[in-house]
Structure 1
């Protein structure tokens, strides 16, 4: 992860087109991007730092929430472009979104970062993560839960068996050496380690 480079950031609120206040009265009612020119601090948007190739960026900034409707989102991009929302002061443009496939129980988190360093140039960066948030969902989830329970019972039995064999009232050192060298014991120990890894 790149080391954060802290610089003084712009935190001023503006009107559309980076114009200074006061804004036209009708701007909020007729503009799709009136909120994009207002700075949002980290604690206001529950933001997290975003790392990319060149720098790490704080959770605050100028945000524009896109609409679910594709036509409206295209109009938002056109309005942002026409009013120079992306200008020579822009250091990064970050696009984040989630996708969900309910049938496959899959979630996708995508992050695309376009960086514009002070030394000029363009650095694209992207990460896409696919994961299952609910493991025990539907028929497949019940199947997974059943085998997890079986694995837990086998591991519990193996752990009790190991503890009993090691602590039998005999020569503990000799029994421990003999038992630990047994092939079945090695499998039981590996199973216990695997369970610990799964629980972590």
Structure 2
């Protein structure tokens, strides 16, 4: 007795197989979306933490490999915080192992190279401003620099920073206050050097 082919003949368990394929597809899409949405900000964050462009690229790969492996642990809407937490640890480990971040060039953001590129004068001004920012940030110790960057440049809240660093909010606030003071002193010194 020949039976006509049914959906059950095509897959051992269509509801489970279909859902597993859909889940895998959703998971892969989430991984790709995570990388696309945060690659530039993670790379910039690693640079501001003091890594060279090459080290930031390698560290960025390490950050995303770790994040992709732990994608299920990343809560919706908390991706940036999760990635920055990994980035802080990766950058810290790299700085401890190399200590080669003291003299580095500041690169422009990728989006300045698009069709609305700045004039040469704007380019020079931006490079000078970024160099001053870089120099002022280099005067902060690692802990103050990390908190300062997360709060002032990446615009994370105090509770988010505390979670990223696994530190009490009071400690984060203290590091931010001291970092701001030291940053202001450094920028004042640089401004007095200007002709």
TM over 0.5: no
Structure with greater proportional helix content: 2
Query: Which structure is higher in RCO with an 8 Å CA cutoff and minimum separation 6?
Result: 2
TM bracket, shorter-chain basis: under 0.3
Structure with greater proportional strand content: 1
TM-score with structure 1 setting the length:
0.22
